[in-house]
C-alpha cells in the first residue's frame, strides 16, 4: 500500500487545504482573543501567522486524501421507488405534528422584524421585500379592526405558512423516494418531521423557513440534468420565492439561473419565466416606495463597509480629513467607538443618532471615503471583514444561539413592549391549554432547536463538493450552489453573521447533499 498517491483526491485535497488552513487558524486565534479583538493595538493578522498556516496546510494535506478515499467507499446504488400513494397522509402528519407547538406559542412565535411589519405594512418595504410585510401587516390591521385583536389573523397566516412549508418538504421527500429510494426518503421524512429546529421555522412568523425551503427546492432542481413535467413552473416559483422573501434573494436566484443555463442547458422558456418572476418580485415594491417617495435604506447593503471603516476608527488607522468629517457627521466619534462590536455593525447603524437618511443622500461620497480608507488600511479592512463575517466561515461546532430559533409568542400582551433582545427568549402564548403542557411544548420547540455552526456547515458543504468531484459525480456539484450562493451574498453584505436564521437553509440542505453523495448517480459514474 502506497503512503503517497498523486491522484485526484490528493490534488483536490491540496486545494481544499489551502482554504481550510486559514479558517482553522483564525477560528482559534479570534476565539482566544475574545473581547480583545475590539481593542486598539490587538491586531488579528500578523507575519508570524505564516509559519502556523504552513504547518496546518501540511497537516490537512496529509490527512484529507486518505479520509476522502475512505469516504468514497461509502456510496451505494439507489433503488428508485415510483408512486406517491402515501403523499397526502405524510403531508398531513408532518403539518399536524407541529400544530400543538404553534398553539403553545399562539398566535405564532416571531421577532421584532415581524412586529415592525405588522405595525408598518407599507413602510416595511424600505427594509424588507414587500410581500411578507404587506401580508402580515394588513392581516394584523384587519384582525385588530374586525376582531379587536390581531392574534386570530396572525395565527391563520402562520398556520397557512406551516401547511405550505410541510407540503414543500413532503414534495422533496417524495422526490428523493423516486430518485434515490425509500430508505433515504424515509430517513429524510423523519428528520424533517421530528427535528425541533425544522418545525420551529415552520411555525414561526418569519420569512426564513419559506426562504430556506425555496433554496432546498432549487437544490433538488439543480441536481437534475433535465426536469420532468411541470418542472419549469416549480423552478420559477422557487426562484420567485427567493426574490420575494429576502433582500439577497435576487442575487442568489440570478446566480442559480445563470449556472443552470450554462451548465445544464436549461431552456429559453425558463429564462423568460425567471425574468417575469424578477419583475413580479420588484415592480410592486418599487411602486410602493416611489408612490410614497421612500428610499430603501442604503445602510442595509453597506454593513461590511461600515464595519470596516468603524474598525479603522477604533484601531486608530489612517483616515483623510474628509473621511473623518463624513464619519463624524453620520455618527459622533465617541458613539461610534462605544457602539463598535467586531461581530456586528447593527449597534452602529441602528443607533438613534446615526444619520441614515443623510447616508442615503451621500452614497457617492461614502463609497469614495470607504475606498480611500481601504487603500490606506488594507490589513484593518481585512480584519473588519473577518470579524463581521466570522460566524459564516469559522469552524466552531455549534450555532451561536443568536436568532437561531423562535419562542416569543406574538400575542397582543407580549408585543406591547417587545425589544430586539426578546428575539432570543421564550414567551408562551395565551391559547387556553394546561400550563404544564404549554410549557413543555414551548420549551421543546424552542430549547430543542440547535444545529451546527453556520461556518462549519459551509465547510461541510464544500467537502461534499470535494467528494462529488473526486467520486465521479461532478454534475451533482451544482446541487450545492443554492447554499453556497446564499453564503456568498452574506459574506459580501451580512449585518450580523452570528444570526443563524440567515443560514438556516443548511439545516434543510445538508441532508440532501448527504443523500446525493450516498445514493446519487452522476453522469461520470453512469458512463463508466
- Three-state SS string across 256-299, please? HHHHHHHHCCCCHHHHHHHHHHHHHHHHHHHHHHHHCCCCCCHH
User: Backbone phi, then psi, for 14, in 5-degree steps?
Assistant: -60, -45
* pLDDT beneath 70: ranges in the chain: 1-4, 78, 225-230, 522-528
pLDDT computed for residue 528 by the predictor: 43
Number of Cβ within 10 Å of residue 348's Cβ equals: 23
pLDDT at 527: 43
d(CA 123, CA 234): 30
Sign of the torsion angle spanned by Cα atoms 128, 129, 132, 137: positive
For position 497, what pLDDT does the model report? Answer: 83
Phi, psi of 344 (to 5 degrees): -155, 145
DSSP state, 170? H
Q: Tell me the C-alpha distance between 380 and 32, whole Å.
A: 19
Residues 452 and 204 sit within 8 Å (Cβ to Cβ): no
**Residue with cell string 419559506:** 210
Quickly list DSSP for 283-345.
Answer: HHHHHHHHHTT----GGGG-HHHHHHHHHHHHHT----HHHHHHHHHHS-HHHHHHH-BTTBS
**526 Cβ neighbours under 8 A, 6+ residues apart:** none
Give the integer Cα–Cα distance in Å for 383 and 308: 8
Contact predicate 438/379, CB 8 Å: no
Nearest alpha-carbon partner for 227 in 241, 216, 213, 217? 217
> What are the backbone angles phi and psi of residue 496, rounded to the nearest 5°?
-160, 105
Q: Angle 404-407-410 (CA atoms, 0-180°, nearest 5)?
A: 125
Q: Provide the grid cell at 297.
A: 435604506
Q: Cell 421555522 appears where?
A: 201
Please report the sign of the dihedral spanned by the C-alpha atoms of residue 470, residue 473, residue 474, residue 480. Answer: negative
Which residues sit opposite 398 in a β-bridge?
452
What is the C-alpha to C-alpha distance for residues 250 and 482, in angstroms, rounded to an integer? 12
C-alpha 243/C-alpha 247 separation (Å) is: 7
**Which single residue is written with the C-alpha cell 465547510?**
459
Q: Give the DSSP H or E segment for 13.
A: helix 8-33
Q: CB–CB of 173/515 below 8 Å?
A: no
Question: Which DSSP letter does residue 63 get?
Answer: H
**The three cell numbers locating residue 381:** 479592512
pLDDT for residue 82: 73
Q: Are 78 and 180 in contact (CB under 8 A)?
A: yes
Amino acid at each position: 500500500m502506497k503512503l503517497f498517491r498523486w491522484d485526484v483526491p490528493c490534488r483536490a485535497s491540496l486545494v481544499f487545504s489551502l482554504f481550510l488552513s486559514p479558517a482553522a487558524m483564525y477560528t482559534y486565534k479570534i476565539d482566544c482573543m475574545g473581547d480583545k479583538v475590539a481593542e486598539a493595538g490587538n491586531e488579528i493578522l500578523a507575519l508570524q501567522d505564516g509559519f502556523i498556516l504552513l504547518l496546518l496546510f501540511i497537516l490537512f494535506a496529509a490527512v484529507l486524501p486518505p479520509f476522502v478515499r475512505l469516504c468514497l467507499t461509502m456510496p451505494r446504488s439507489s433503488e428508485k421507488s415510483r408512486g406517491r400513494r402515501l403523499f397526502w397522509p405524510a403531508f398531513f402528519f408532518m403539518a399536524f405534528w407541529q400544530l400543538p407547538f404553534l398553539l403553545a406559542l399562539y398566535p405564532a412565535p416571531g421577532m421584532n422584524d415581524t412586529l415592525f411589519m405588522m405595525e408598518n405594512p407599507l413602510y416595511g418595504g424600505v427594509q424588507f421585500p414587500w410581500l411578507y410585510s404587506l401580508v402580515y401587516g394588513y392581516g394584523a390591521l384587519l384582525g385588530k379592526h374586525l376582531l379587536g385583536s390581531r392574534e386570530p389573523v396572525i395565527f391563520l397566516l402562520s398556520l397557512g405558512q406551516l401547511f405550505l412549508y410541510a407540503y414543500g418538504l413532503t414534495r422533496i421527500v417524495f422526490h428523493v423516494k423516486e430518485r434515490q429510494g425509500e430508505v433515504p426518503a424515509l430517513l429524510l421524512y423523519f428528520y424533517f418531521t421530528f427535528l425541533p429546529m425544522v418545525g420551529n421555522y415552520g411555525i414561526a412568523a418569519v420569512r426564513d423557513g419559506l426562504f430556506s425551503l425555496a433554496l432546498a427546492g432549487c437544490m433538488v432542481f439543480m441536481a437534475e440534468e433535465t426536469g420532468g413535467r411541470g418542472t419549469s413552473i416549480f423552478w420559477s416559483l422557487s426562484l420567485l420565492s427567493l426574490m420575494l422573501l429576502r433582500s439577497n434573494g435576487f442575487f442568489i436566484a440570478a446566480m442559480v439561473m445563470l449556472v443552470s443555463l450554462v451548465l445544464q442547458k436549461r431552456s429559453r422558456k425558463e429564462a423568460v419565466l425567471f425574468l417575469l418572476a424578477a419583475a413580479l418580485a420588484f415592480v410592486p415594491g418599487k411602486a410602493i416606495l416611489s408612490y410614497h417617495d421612500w428610499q430603501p435604506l442604503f445602510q442595509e447593503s453597506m454593513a461590511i463597509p461600515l464595519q470596516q471603516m468603524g474598525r479603522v476608527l477604533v484601531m486608530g488607522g489612517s483616515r483623510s480629513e474628509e473621511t473623518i468629517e463624513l464619519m463624524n457627521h453620520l455618527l459622533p466619534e465617541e458613539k461610534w467607538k462605544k457602539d463598535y462590536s467586531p461581530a456586528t455593525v447593527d449597534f452602529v447603524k441602528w443607533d438613534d443618532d446615526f444619520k441614515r437618511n443623510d447616508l442615503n443622500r451621500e452614497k457617492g461620497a461614502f463609497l469614495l471615503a470607504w475606498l480611500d480608507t481601504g487603500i490606506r488600511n488594507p490589513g484593518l479592512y481585512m480584519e473588519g471583514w473577518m470579524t463581521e463575517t466570522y460566524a459564516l466561515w469559522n469552524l466552531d461546532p455549534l450555532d451561536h444561539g443568536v436568532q437561531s430559533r423562535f419562542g416569543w409568542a406574538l400575542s397582543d400582551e407580549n408585543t406591547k413592549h417587545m425589544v430586539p433582545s426578546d428575539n432570543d427568549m421564550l414567551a408562551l402564548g395565551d391559547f387556553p391549554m394546561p400550563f404544564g403542557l404549554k410549557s413543555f411544548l414551548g420549551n421543546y420547540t424552542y430549547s430543542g432547536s440547535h444545529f451546527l455552526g453556520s461556518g462549519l456547515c459551509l465547510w461541510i458543504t464544500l467537502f461534499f463538493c470535494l467528494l462529488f468531484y473526486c467520486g465521479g459525480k461532478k454534475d451533482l456539484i451544482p446541487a450545492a450552489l443554492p447554499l453556497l450562493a446564499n453564503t456568498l451574498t452574506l459574506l459580501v453584505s451580512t449585518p450580523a453573521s452570528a444570526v443563524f436564521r440567515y443560514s438556516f437553509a443548511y439545516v434543510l440542505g445538508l441532508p440532501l447533499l448527504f443523500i446525493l453523495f450516498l445514493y446519487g448517480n452522476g453522469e461520470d459514474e453512469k458512463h463508466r
